[in-house]
């Protein structure tokens, strides 16, 4: 846990007029629940707002930068940019997870590494920048920290489909996924998965769900193929 | 079909700088398909953008006017405001359906009355106002024509649940829905449904799906109860 909020403001390249908004964005429910009597609020309402700001800014960005892309493709591309694992990665790029206020139980069970908590804080941060600095500052932040590296994000999002397609075209064998490890207690499991081409490992991945681990494995295989 | 676009601008209380944006918003795919050679584009990309503008403005509106409402309730209330039948009703309040460019086949099979077509044009119109006049003009339009009459919209959206709850509390009998009529061809059916309290009709509704007709019937029953 890091409470040097001036450092965070440097990382996100935005300085808050109202610091309470920043603190509110960083407050997970588990912390607010433990400190309810002090009037501390969680970040869920800000996340609700930030999610909508992100949706608009990413839609506007795709609409303007991809003038010939059909609506269906824009919808799919937007989904790859605003899905939970992608936003959690965006958040980790700025080290946001360090700054989140977590309750004790959540901290002990590894909540600081959980995609849902980290991506929710990222959306709440967007909501708080929007309230503090308006749509233009929120747009600047989103373009810098969420709408970068689009090709890789698309590849990651569609990795299972793309890998299957390439293997079909190359006719090199049969793709499957195998669980190679399971660690942690039931409520906080981590899966290790191998992407297999026939009986050869071509990629590996980890995740809190089997699907997330498979996606990671497919993505790692795609990166080798390139 | 009405092509007096100055009249439409009067109704929506917004005058376009770029009239092509307005025409683009009113162009259904079925019309664009018939006139592809003339370079006419459909409104699907504008709908994609308008949907996101509506999501942000309605979220911001609820966030600011309901300062104590938990995130879950805001999400549900927002859904009642931006769902297809509600948006189609909003569109009909300004007579938007008259101004939509439809293909011949779509016109003949009653497309001008279909909720999906009318609500999509409403979202595309929001997208075009946003591009033409920015977020402030889009916000004005949405607050005037989509975020009005919120209590009734919530009642409509939740009508089946609310009706069931009231009947449970009053312990006056058993609620059921019965189809009382079906008209039109398979691809464009209209259902008539009665809401029944034991064997007594307490409301009736029509819709293109059984669920839509039941919702309408529940809403008509609720209005009588008041």
pLDDT, one tens digit per residue, over B88-97 is: 999 999 999 9
| pLDDT of res. B181 | 95
Residue B221 has pLDDT above 90, yes or no: yes
Residues 6+ apart with CB under 8 A from A122: A50, A87, A88, A90, A91, A96, A146
| pLDDT of res. B188 | 78
Residue B145 has pLDDT above 80, yes or no: yes
Residue B20 has pLDDT above 90, yes or no: yes
| pLDDT of res. A58 | 98
Residue B224 has pLDDT above 90, yes or no: no
Taking the C-alpha atoms of residue B74 and residue B66, their distance in angstroms, rounded to an integer, is 8
pLDDT tier for residue A188 given thresholds of 50, 70 and 90: confident
How much is the CA Rg of chain A, to the nearest whole Å?
19
Taking the C-alpha atoms of residue B122 and residue B136, their distance in angstroms, rounded to an integer, is 17
Q: Which of B44, B47, B59 sits opposite A52 (nearest CB)?
A: B59
| pLDDT of res. A147 | 97
pLDDT tier for residue A225 given thresholds of 50, 70 and 90: confident
Taking the C-alpha atoms of residue B141 and residue A53, their distance in angstroms, rounded to an integer, is 18
Taking the C-alpha atoms of residue B183 and residue B218, their distance in angstroms, rounded to an integer, is 21
Cβ separation of B59 and A51 shorter than 8 Å?
yes
Q: What mean pLDDT is predicted for residues B126-132?
A: 98
Name residue B200's beta-bridge partners.
B197
Instruction: Tell me the nearest-neighbour CA distance from A59 into chain B, angstroms.
Output: 6
Taking the C-alpha atoms of residue B56 and residue B54, their distance in angstroms, rounded to an integer, is 5
| pLDDT of res. A208 | 85
Domains A5-149 and A159-225 share a fold: no
What letter does residue B110 receive in the DSSP assignment?
Answer: T
Regarding predicted confidence, which is higher, A10 or A38? A10
For chain B positions 76-105, those within 8 Å of chain A (CB to CB) are none
**Domain residues of chain A, as ranges?**
5-149, 159-225
Cα–Cα distances (Å) from A20 to A5, A27, A128, in that order, read 11, 11, 9
Residue A226 has pLDDT above 90, yes or no: no
Residues 6+ apart with CB under 8 A from B4: none
Question: What share of chain A in percent tops pLDDT 90?
Answer: 87
Residue B6 has pLDDT above 90, yes or no: yes
pLDDT, one tens digit per residue, over A84-119 is: 999 999 999 999 999 999 999 999 988 999 999 999
Please give the CATH superfamily to which domain A5-149 belongs. Answer: Ribonuclease III domain (1.10.1520.10)
CATH architecture entry for A159-225 = 2-Layer Sandwich (3.30)
| pLDDT of res. B37 | 85
Joined tokens for residue B96: 């938007």
Q: What mean pLDDT is predicted for residues A171-185?
A: 93
| pLDDT of res. A205 | 95
Residue A187 has pLDDT above 80, yes or no: no
A124: contact with B, CB 8 A cutoff: no
Chain pair A-B, CB pairs under 8 angstroms: 52
């Amino acid at each position: 846990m890091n409470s040097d909020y001036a450092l965070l403001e440097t990382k996100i390249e935005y300085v808050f007029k109202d610091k309470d908004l920043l603190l509110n964005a960083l407050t997970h429910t588990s912390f607010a629940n433990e400190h309810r009597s002090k009037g501390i609020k969680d970040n869920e309402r800000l996340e609700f707002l930030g999610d909508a700001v992100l949706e608009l800014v990413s839609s506007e960005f795709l609409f303007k930068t991809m003038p010939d892309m059909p609506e269906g493709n824009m919808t799919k591309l937007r989904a790859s940019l605003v899905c939970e694992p992608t936003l959690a990665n965006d958040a980790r790029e700025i080290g946001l997870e360090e700054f989140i206020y977590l309750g004790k139980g959540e901290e002990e069970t590894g909540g600081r590494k959980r995609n849902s908590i980290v991506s929710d804080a990222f959306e709440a941060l967007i909501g708080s920048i929007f309230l503090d600095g308006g749509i233009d500052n929120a747009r600047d932040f989103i373009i810098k920290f969420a709408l970068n590296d689009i090709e890789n994000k698309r590849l990651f999002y569609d990795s299972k489909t793309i890998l299957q397609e390439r293997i079909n075209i190359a006719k090199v064998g049969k793709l499957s996924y195998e669980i190679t490890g399971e660690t942690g207690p039931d409520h906080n499991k981590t899966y290790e998965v191998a992407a297999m081409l026939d009986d050869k490992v071509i990629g590996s991945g980890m995740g809190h769900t089997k699907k997330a681990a498979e996606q990671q494995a497919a993505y790692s295989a795609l990166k080798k193929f390139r």
